[in-house]
Structure 1
Amino acid sequence: MEATNLLSTLELLCAPKKLDRERGEDQLNNISLTSDEVKLVSSWIEEKLEGLSNWEDVFGGITAAIILLRNVDYGSLVDIGIVGKLEDQVVQCHDNPEFRVRIAAGQLMGSLCRHAGLSLFNRYLPTVIQGVITNLERNTEAPVSEAELSLRELNIAKEHSTNLSSSSLSIFHDTAGWKNLETWMKCLQEMVSNLPSKDFIKVDKTNILELTFKAVQHVNRFVRETGYDVLSTMISRHLCYTEPEAKEPTYINVATQLVKGLSDNWSQVRMAASRAVRTLFEVDPPSGFTRDDIYPILLPAMCLNRYYVAEGVRIYSQDTWCRVTQGEGRRLLGQYLVPAVDYYIQQSDADNHAVREASCASMAEIVTKLDSKLLLPCVGKLLDALIVCFGDESWPVRDAACVALGSLISTFPNETRASGHDDLMASQFLRNLNDSIPSVRDGAAKSIAAILKSVDDQNLFQHYINHIVEKIDGLSKQPKESHGAESSRVSGKGPGASHVTVHSGDAAHDSRHTDQVMYSCGSLAPKLQKGRKGGGCHDGLHQRTSEPWEEADGAIRLIGQISNMFPNRVTDDLIEQLLKGCEYRNYTHYPYFLETGKHNL
């Protein structure tokens, strides 16, 4: 290849546009370099790294060095002297203000460690550890980035808006960048992943593990996420024991740290921890330990995340559960039921409403899928936790708690009455049956029908029939201008379903949901304080009074569920009530009421 063409390819590595840089990488990767061309590229790399001024030049030089190490014989690179210069200069690149340069520098250090082995790893390790330690704490007097300034402006705006419920300090620490900490952690990950396994076993992991544990507990969620990625890499390199046959207590410590990540308020952190958990189960446990030692620690959180609102976490967790349990999930959950129940109850009190919803779904699962004899000692604890969630200010949580309670009470009606709920919580279920959210009303109707089927209580049955008559008669009081969520648009059930209320007409311009700050699902606003109004696409904390048509809608949903459970009890009077409700057509939302009536008829 002509020198001019080779230089043109190299200059593409320093192009301002990412597409051009990637094109340069592809071209250089596909070139079979002669010894003279290797020397030319080496000289070009030295020139680019010596300047340390323009970030694109430095980035291009590092990229070319990584490609050389990948495609050219390492011994020949040592002979021409480029390796020694790279080993010395690459550390300086971590002072570059451009994060892409620092990330590339970490990749280059990993490539060098792959070839040079333990000696170079031990040479770099103190510098990397010091880089992490130095950046673990923020210098509040240092200049801040534009993103951080925006967050501070948001905090100032909070003082003038009742809709912003989060503390400025919490938002600032949990979202703002933390200098070079993340890139130093990525560098450590590259070094660990590239060091040959036979060499990594000889490394003293005490400082690395201590540093990683600090990172996964850091106040900033980006640092926690990177920390779990590093931990996952270290687990894959047999972090949990020094020698293949040695016994190390770090196996339990690692599992304890992982469960904190599986319970994190940020979905990205949960995902990183989930990847690390899968890796932990893919690696054989150290001698003297079995998976039974970490099952009670990790299984409850793994099980709960199968219902988490973030789709990526939910699907990944479901797949991990299948891989780990191999069809024995029900047996394992029954075996470790007590820690699972305790974890679900703990998570039902989490600040993040999406976590509370997932915990209710998990409690419903163990009630419906496990032997009732196993659950009997836990009924009281489950009942108390679900009753609290039944009154949650977030409607998806109320909905999930209602479904779970319906399953629990229908399975243990006597135990529920023994706990002081003689009417089997009829008043609470009727409150949900009257809710302004269609899916909440539907869940309440199904739960009530399941409870009625489990007990032979004519008084309780008549109590619900009286409610149906009362609410359908109440349609005569429905104003012409009605409000509410259309059932066809809010039809999702369970975690991950869309819980968005569609507003129309004057309601679409209501100040409560106009020009307000919005947040990421399951992250900032929902996690900060349980039950407070904070915005976000799942905000169900503003609970308006239900209208007569919505209460009647719940009543005919109950008629439909009763007809499924008790076909012989569907009398002409009930059908008359349903048809009577469909006669009222003087309000805006009557088509949606008719839709429910038609479905249940």
Structure 2
Amino acid sequence: MLMQKKQSIMDFSTIDRSLLSLTRRHPPLPPDVLQLSQSLLDLLSSSSSNNNNVDSPPSVVTTQPEYISGIQRLLSLGSERWEPLAVGLCLAAHCIEYHVSSLLRHTDDEKHGGGVYAEGPRIPQVNPSSSTPPATHATTTPPRSMDGLSSESPIFDLLHSLPPTIHANIEHPEPRVRSLVARTVGAYASITTGLAVHILHGEGRGWGDDVKTRIGQLQPKRREVHDAILKSLKVHFEWKRPGVEVEWNERERGDATTIDDDNQIAGDGTAEPPRISKASDGALDDTTGWRALETNLHALAAYIDGCCVTPVVVVDDDNDEDHTRETYTGSYLSEQLHLLTTTTTTTTDNWFLAGLHYCSVTHVNRHVRAASSAVLGVIVTSCKQCRAYDLLLDSPFRNVVKESLYANLADNWSQVRMSGSVLCRTFVEALLMIYRRREEEKNHGIPKEEEEDLTEFELAVGDMVPMLLPRMCLNRFYLAQGVKLYSQDTWKIVFGGKQEPPQQEGHGGEGEEEGGLHSSETTRGGGGMGAVARNAAPLCRYYSKMCDADNHAVREAACQGVAELAQKLGKHPLYAEYLSPYVTMLLQALLMCFHDESWPVRDEACLACGTFCLAYAEECAPELPTLYERWTEQLTDQIWSVREDAAVALGDAITAYGPEMMEKVLALIRKKLPAARDQPAMSREEYKRLQNDASAHTGTQLYSCGSLAPKLRKGGAGRIGCSSCALDRPKAPWEASDGCVYLIRELCIRFADKDNTAREDVVIGDAVLLPIMTELSDVCRLSHYPQSDDLRTTLWRQLPPIARALGKRRFKGMYLDLFIELLSKNIDDRFNCASQLSIHAAGQCAEELANLIGHGIFRGRMAEVGGADAFDRVMAERKREHMTLQAAGGFVGATQFSPFGPPMAGVVR
């Protein structure tokens, strides 16, 4: 059943696959549909076989009357089943796009649409294949199929037949059909405006008057498509405005536009509109799509992007060649500029900007908000191409974009935040281009003296900097990989910087973007770091507010952003003073996050506080008792990474506050390290029975990060998390010992060597360290509880950095014998009583220690405790692992990578 369902899925990735999908549908499609699908497949196959270049698309099949008539036939067969209609739209859009690639082969990309952002798979896109022509911007040399265009060309028949199909199906019940209708609208606008512009430029070899007549007949049809979209949008904009029912009743009956029961514009009735759009299937939530509104927005975005933008020189003042201007015939703005320039309530066009504002800022549905951002983005691109700079600099449209960015860049849904990020980059790039062109015209590229201390971003964006910059900063740390990576690239584009991924500070630390808050003497205005420093006030206020946001992913990103401020600005000689007045406010926000229900938030807040203590020790001193209490709580947390990062933060505190803090941390280690001795005894079998007890896991509430259940109540400090504190298990004693292992590592790395210590007045000598290490080895020998393997795994992972910090001679002489016997037994595991994690960690530890001390010496020490054979076996296994990595194109010691991030170079997957 599962295989049958998988085989029957519609595949729109290529035109041949979409046709093949028709033959696999269950229940089967009518015979005439299957026969037509097979005939079109035969045409594609014969075209590919007759083509000399197998890598180039079939340029003949898209102009054959049989192929285009087959597309029209598919479109007409979609009345009973949606599949033929969808495939027909896919083929029609692809055919038109292929002709557009020929029509615009000499057109610069900047003069054509920049593409419409559509989140996820909601707008299917046909990818090139051996039998598939390319999209609009082809990488291969486009054909010259439009040069010999005649009035009898079958492409005209297709173009004349498409508008009724678009009108009838733009609110189709099937979302895939609606998405393909939107794509077809874009292709239709692209070819019709492209043909008109070709005539204006005097191009089109061999085009007679009859061809120009047929092209002229297409323009009203294109406008009809656009008018139908706007009419539907206007109706939905009116329905979705708050209080529209009251306003509707208050209107004069003769002026009201009404909707009948079938969701058609009646015009002659005066009944009240329904409270729920029938075309949206009553969807009033934030998850499902709003059928007509969402698709109309996508179609409008595709239409605007498809309109060809090519300047045409016009001579004014009685053919005086000294007085010329450029017009952009065919562009969206040349025909619909009035929609973007009216704001008064007495104007009938006021609804457009007001509707876009409502849908992009306050609409309840996330898909609608994302689609509205896409519309704003293509309008910004059109303004940039047509040089309609006033719309982007000072107009009601700029205000709509500003408020949309304000809302969408901080939206709770990642897909809306992503669409806002795309709009942000498009808008900022347009403003930067305008600023650079105007400065080049006025000052020949030389900045004014009063502007040398500001970045181009600050000068171009102007009054929007306090709103835009904090959101751009925070989204570089957002949990969703798409938003994070895209925002990081946007930052690099705007401010420059190395094209490198974020690096991890410390051991669990915050992301530090090399291409982000950089500062250079050659960078105007100090680059990103200078812009952040000058706008520290709004940035810090925004970060503080986001630390108390309802979304745990936002709180986590805010904590990382705060840590970055302390790391970058706090240690900078020029910009540290800019952040100093806001340290207390940021520190209070981080302290609140220590109580968060979401452990990643607590983790990031813990690290950020340690970083602040390093950068602003004096300002943080009043809160040090509270911070120390929070760090010690985190050191015994149930999550191992939280324990590790608490140790890192305590190490930062010692570096910041010196011997007094060192004594408190040593007392903490002496108290908490033996805690594993108090762990209740339990056999491994009892532990497994407890974990596998069905009654303990039956009939309980299911929780996850994506669940709506935890969002029904607030906990902790009044915020929503991804888990409930009421469901947390108690802390186990052995976890305190585990946290002390990380803390011992931090002490050794930072303060064990007097010649390389973080503070000259803090050095941990053997008289202090040896008793602690002895206690550590004794605690790790305990085996009366099943989690003892987890504690030993932590020890084996931290012992190599401890050994390197102490130095070869010191570690070999005083500390190796404390752990060599335990290490040998863990590697050997003759009685199969150790976990595979601890065995692997022990083997890796043995290899690293052998590399430090010397293989011969280390093997001799292992032989003294009877572990020589086990050591030899481990070394042989490690050697095979390294050879396998090298054979696969990887490298020894490769860092782990996220499956959701960009592919790593040199790693074969």
Q: Distance in 2 between matches of 1:269 and 1:399?
A: 27
Q: What is the TM-score with the length of structure 2 in the denominator?
A: 0.54
In structure 2, the residue matched to 1:309 is 479
In structure 1, the residue matched to 2:83 is 56
- Alpha-carbon RMSD across the aligned residues, in angstroms, is 4.0
Structure 1 residues without counterparts, runs of 5 or longer? 1-8, 149-171, 484-502
Q: Is the 8 A contact 1:553 1:593 kept in 2?
A: yes
In structure 1, the residue matched to 2:410 is 263
The residue identity in structure 1 corresponding to 2:671 is E
Shift of 1:236: 1.7
Q: 1:556 aligns with which of 730, 733, 741?
A: 741
In structure 2, the residue matched to 1:104 is 180
In structure 2, the residue matched to 1:163 is none
In structure 2, the residue matched to 1:478 is 679
Mark the CA change 1:25 to 1:307 in structure 2 (over 3 Å): closer, same or farther.
Answer: farther
Shift of 1:30: 2.4
Mark the CA change 1:79 to 1:376 in structure 2 (over 3 Å): closer, same or farther.
Answer: closer
Matched, 1:214 2:358: yes
Deviations 1:42-80 (A, max 9, x none): 487278438734323333443454355443657635996
Matched, 1:415 2:516: no
Q: 1:427 aligns with which of 616, 624, 629?
A: 629
Q: Distance in 2 between matches of 1:242 and 1:62?
A: 34
Q: Distance in 2 between matches of 1:244 and 1:422?
A: 53
Q: Distance in 1 between matches of 2:578 and 2:479?
A: 28
Deviations 1:480-532 (A, max 9, x none): 2399xxxxxxxxxxxxxxxxxxx965235577866777688568567666548
In structure 2, the residue matched to 1:491 is none
| Residues 142-291 of structure 1 aligned to structure 2 (within 5 Å) | 173-197=285-309, 198=328, 199-202=331-334, 203-204=336-337, 205-206=339-340, 207-217=351-361, 218-238=363-383, 243-244=388-389, 247-249=393-395, 250-251=397-398, 253-284=400-431, 290-291=460-461
Mark the CA change 1:47 to 1:330 in structure 2 (over 3 Å): closer, same or farther.
Answer: closer
Mark the CA change 1:10 to 1:319 in structure 2 (over 3 Å): closer, same or farther.
Answer: closer
Q: Distance in 1 between matches of 2:58 and 2:700?
A: 52
| Residues 446-457 of structure 1 aligned to structure 2 (within 5 Å) | 446-457=648-659
Matched, 1:464 2:665: yes
Matched, 1:15 2:22: yes
Deviations 1:438-467 (A, max 9, x none): 111111111111111211352x43333222
| SS of aligned partner of 1:425 | helix
Q: 2:166 aligns with which of 84, 90, 93?
A: 90
Q: Distance in 2 between matches of 1:283 and 1:12?
A: 41
Shift of 1:243: 2.5
Matched, 1:32 2:70: no
| SS of aligned partner of 1:436 | coil
| SS of aligned partner of 2:486 | helix
Shift of 1:122: 4.3
Relative contact order, higher structure (CA 8 A, sep 6+):
1
| SS of aligned partner of 2:680 | coil
Mark the CA change 1:32 to 1:576 in structure 2 (over 3 Å): closer, same or farther.
Answer: closer
The residue identity in structure 2 corresponding to 1:227 is S
Stretch moving more, 407-416 or 240-249: 240-249
In structure 2, the residue matched to 1:127 is 228
Q: Is the 8 A contact 1:353 1:530 kept in 2?
A: no
Mark the CA change 1:228 to 1:17 in structure 2 (over 3 Å): closer, same or farther.
Answer: farther
Q: Is the 8 A contact 1:348 1:359 kept in 2?
A: yes
Q: Is the 8 A contact 1:379 1:415 kept in 2?
A: yes
| SS of aligned partner of 1:393 | coil
Matched, 1:298 2:488: no
Q: Distance in 2 between matches of 1:51 and 1:562?
A: 72
Shift of 1:403: 0.5
Aligned residues between the structures: 545
Mark the CA change 1:245 to 1:440 in structure 2 (over 3 Å): closer, same or farther.
Answer: closer
In structure 2, the residue matched to 1:506 is 690
Mark the CA change 1:108 to 1:323 in structure 2 (over 3 Å): closer, same or farther.
Answer: same
Q: Distance in 2 between matches of 1:434 and 1:40?
A: 70
Q: Distance in 2 between matches of 1:463 and 1:10?
A: 69
The residue identity in structure 1 corresponding to 2:377 is S
The residue identity in structure 2 corresponding to 1:403 is L
Q: Is the 8 A contact 1:433 1:555 kept in 2?
A: yes
| SS of aligned partner of 1:378 | helix
Mark the CA change 1:290 to 1:520 in structure 2 (over 3 Å): closer, same or farther.
Answer: farther
Q: Distance in 2 between matches of 1:11 and 1:111?
A: 18
Q: Is the 8 A contact 2:71 2:91 kept in 1?
A: no
Q: Distance in 1 between matches of 2:74 and 2:640?
A: 67
Q: Distance in 2 between matches of 1:11 and 1:376?
A: 61
Q: Is the 8 A contact 1:114 1:194 kept in 2?
A: yes
Structure 2 residues without counterparts, runs of 5 or longer? 1-15, 26-33, 48-56, 100-144, 194-218, 241-273, 310-327, 341-350, 439-458, 498-526, 753-762, 803-909
Q: Distance in 2 between matches of 1:194 and 1:357?
A: 40
Matched, 1:574 2:809: no
Q: Distance in 2 between matches of 1:433 and 1:190?
A: 54
Q: Distance in 2 between matches of 1:523 and 1:296?
A: 34
Mark the CA change 1:301 to 1:226 in structure 2 (over 3 Å): closer, same or farther.
Answer: same
Q: Distance in 1 between matches of 2:71 and 2:578?
A: 70
In structure 2, the residue matched to 1:544 is 729
Q: Is the 8 A contact 2:475 2:483 kept in 1?
A: yes
Q: Is the 8 A contact 2:74 2:85 kept in 1?
A: no
Q: Distance in 2 between matches of 1:187 and 1:222?
A: 14
Q: Is the 8 A contact 1:308 1:354 kept in 2?
A: yes
Deviations 1:139-189 (A, max 9, x none): 6596998x98xxxxxxxxxxxxxxxxxxxxxxx711123232222111111
The residue identity in structure 1 corresponding to 2:86 is F
Deviations 1:254-286 (A, max 9, x none): 143124222122222222222222222332455
Structure of higher CA gyration radius: 2
Q: 2:593 aligns with which of 386, 389, 395?
A: 389
| SS of aligned partner of 2:786 | coil
In structure 1, the residue matched to 2:192 is 116
Q: Is the 8 A contact 1:352 1:522 kept in 2?
A: no
Q: 2:543 aligns with which of 331, 344, 354?
A: 344
Q: Is the 8 A contact 1:519 1:537 kept in 2?
A: no
In structure 2, the residue matched to 1:565 is 750
Mark the CA change 1:592 to 1:210 in structure 2 (over 3 Å): closer, same or farther.
Answer: same
Q: Is the 8 A contact 2:280 2:290 kept in 1?
A: no
Q: Is the 8 A contact 2:606 2:649 kept in 1?
A: yes
Q: What is the TM-score with the length of structure 1 in the denominator?
A: 0.78
Q: Distance in 2 between matches of 1:259 and 1:375?
A: 24
The residue identity in structure 1 corresponding to 2:658 is D
Q: Is the 8 A contact 2:169 2:181 kept in 1?
A: yes
| SS of aligned partner of 1:360 | helix
Shift of 1:220: 1.3
